[in-house]
Amino acid sequence: MPKVALRERQTELTRDLILEALADLIGEGRLAEFSMQDVADRAGVSLRTVYRHFAYREALLDGFALWAGKRFQAVGGAEFPKRVDDIAPLLRRKFAALERLAPLFVAMTRLDSATGIGTPLAAKSVRTIRSALADVTADLDPKLAEAVVWIIRTLWSHKTWVVFHEEAGLDSLHAGATAAWAIDLIVEALRQGRGPDLNEAEEQ
């Protein structure tokens, strides 16, 4: 292997060690209190090495979110629906991929909840789900249509998977089946012309 390629590989491996160490610390609930030295110690590298890759704490957190997104893509969990009938099957696949990266995405969810830093995939998922649902939400009041998008986006979210995983104790098979079933029920209702009842909501 050429020296340049070897150096790049070593740089990548060191970066992975640092980000994996951060995932461990966040997963342990230490998001607010960890120091760059804590990350260095957990990764088994020098503090100087951490700063060489990430000049400050915020850069480390941003780098972690990008890295988590790339890891998710690498295990095949980042495919987005093009049609309404793609949503439920792809959600099952996504949840299976999340289980393969469980500690990482438990940490990512905690980071997102505390700081609002999410993976670059999050905004794309809203756009693609809205587009995939366009045909079955076309006749809804626009605000209700957007609410339906966000209900399904919430079911699609890695945060929902973490709730199933951490609080309900469900594996990806059961979590994916349950969330996909809920999506199928919503879509079928919309196809039958049954959406949220705005009149009933106003009466209450």
Determine the structural domain holding residue 20 and report its residue range.
1-55
Q: What is the pLDDT of residue 4?
A: 62
- pLDDT tens digit string along 37-67? 999 999 999 999 999 999 999 999 999 999 9
Instruction: Please indicate, yes or no, if residue 191 is contained in any of the structural domains.
Output: yes
Q: What is the pLDDT of residue 163?
A: 94
- Same domain assignment for residues 29 and 75: no
Instruction: Please indicate, yes or no, if residue 201 is contained in any of the structural domains.
Output: no
- Same domain assignment for residues 47 and 80: no
- pLDDT tens digit string along 79-122? 999 999 999 999 999 999 999 999 999 999 999 888 888 887 77
Instruction: Please indicate, yes or no, if residue 12 is contained in any of the structural domains.
Output: yes
The enclosing domain of 18 has a CATH number of 1.10.10
pTM: 0.84
- Same domain assignment for residues 81 and 181: yes
Could you give the C-alpha distances from 81 to 112, 130, 186, 190, in angstroms and in order? 23, 10, 16, 18
- The closest of 158, 179, 190, 199 to 89, measured between CA atoms, is 179
How long, in residues, is the chain? 204
Q: What is the rounded CA–CA span in Å between residue 138 and residue 152?
A: 16
- Same domain assignment for residues 49 and 72: no
Number of domains in the chain: 2
- pLDDT tens digit string along 142-151? 999 999 999 9
Q: Are 99 and 158 in contact (CB under 8 A)?
A: no
List Cβ neighbours of 167 (8 Å cut-off, separation of 6 or more).
none
- Same domain assignment for residues 122 and 43: no
